[in-house]
Amino acid sequence: DAGHYDNGGYEHYLLKEISEQPDTVARTLRGRIDDRFHIAHLGGLNMDARETRSFRRVKIIGCGSAYYSGQIGAQLIEELARIPADAEPASEFRYRSPVVEPDTLYVAISQSGETYDTLAAVQELKRKGGRVLGIVNTVGSAIARETDGGIYLHAGPEVSVASTKAFTSTAVAFALLALHLGRVRDLSPADGRRICDGLRRLPEQIKEILTLEDRIRELAKKYADAPGMMFVGRVRGYPVAREGAQKLKEISYVHAEAYPASELKHGPLALISPELPTVAVVPDDELLDKNLTTLGEIRARHGRILMVGHRTSEAADDCIVVPRNEVELDPILLTIPLQLFAYHAAVALGRDVDRPRNLAKSVTVE
Ligand code: AGP
């Protein structure tokens, strides 16, 4: 309940929680990076090296933004540990009678630790003998108690209904888990070091992104009068786009859709017009050229484009440039401007930012 926590002088808890992220990310990392061997220390997993090496698949479950952060997590695990991994909404997972395999590691994500669908999915997994870890913020919560071990976020209480700091901390926790799983398999010490160094740079880089707030406020005002927005990204950028659309919907009530940029021409391109601006998540990765081509296709249909990435481009009307990290970790940083964008759009539209209509902070019923 918001009444128990100080808003720290911020106008809204949401802005406080967005602004806290240099600290909350540092807390998720604290004591967990080993600079000698370039590994992660995750004592809470309760798993020895033999068991850690035994998994052939990782299945991640969560609801809403927790699920989107799980998509980032699945990509991190595939990239760094080379274990097939995917994320699914917990509510869908538990009702489709999933095959529970002994060599699959299940990971349940929840900020509150009390989301009913996620808890019920964990219970179903355990009934069927699944090994389930939790990535949870709230210590001692139901999901933390029901799982066999896990990673606490240590992000502190998240009051605003829209999740922000828990989202980034979850992605950071997954980077640690992926590093851990990778280093007992094929991930080289050099790559381990690259990721450890990248993780350490995150808090300062988040601070840098937060200094862009004035400009993002202006952009939010400029785009907030649109009846709807399209969010696109590819591969690492796609879960970021989904989370950006989710934030905008939740707190500004502006309709937002997220698509893999590559899917536009298979349908949603028909929607593109000056009335439906696009937020494009375009990191400098191996898909940069393909993404810029897609922006050209949007432009050709008179769509306005706000690009979030590592450079400016003439293909977009407006650009937000964030500092670069390692490509695997870039999604964490690319999320921050989209949080600020949604926040300022909601403020510009006069919405109840911390308590959006129709939503509860934790959904403890089915
Ligand atoms: C996030 O902005 C949402 N309010 C919502 O999707 C949330 O992430 C979801 O309900 C899961 O909550 P949990 O992390 O507490 O389980």
Largest CA distance in the chain: 56
Tell me the C-alpha distance between 185 and 82, whole Å.
9
Q: What's residue 57's pLDDT? A: 98
pLDDT at 359: 85
**Residue among 68, 111, 139, 361 whose CB has most ligand 1 atoms within 8 A, to mutate:** 111
Q: Give 54's pLDDT tier (boundaries 50, 70, 90).
A: very high
* Mutual angle of helices 330-348 and 65-81, in 10-degree steps: 160
Q: Who's near 306: CB < 8 A, 6+ residues apart?
A: 219, 223, 277, 278, 279, 280, 316, 317, 318, 319, 320, 341
DSSP 268: G
Give the tens place of pLDDT for each residue, 109-137.
999 999 999 999 999 999 999 999 999 99
Report whether residue 120 contacts ligand 1, using a CB cutoff of 6 Å.
no
pLDDT in tens, 297-325: 999 999 999 999 999 999 999 999 999 99
Which is the closest atom of ligand 1 to the Cα of 362? 15
What is the Å distance from ligand 1's center to 183 Cα? 31
Length reported for the chain? 366
Ligand 1 center to 110 CA (angstroms) = 7
- Give catalytic residues, as residue numbers: 361
pLDDT band at 357 (very low <50, low <70, confident <90, very high): confident
Report residue 1's pLDDT band, with 50, 70 and 90 as the boundaries: very low
pLDDT in tens, 175-216: 999 999 999 999 999 999 999 999 999 999 999 999 999 999
ipTM, interface predicted TM-score of the complex: 0.98
What mean pLDDT, rounded, does the chain reach?
Answer: 95
Which residues contact residue 84 at a Cβ distance below 8 angstroms, ignoring those fewer than 6 apart?
56, 57, 58, 78
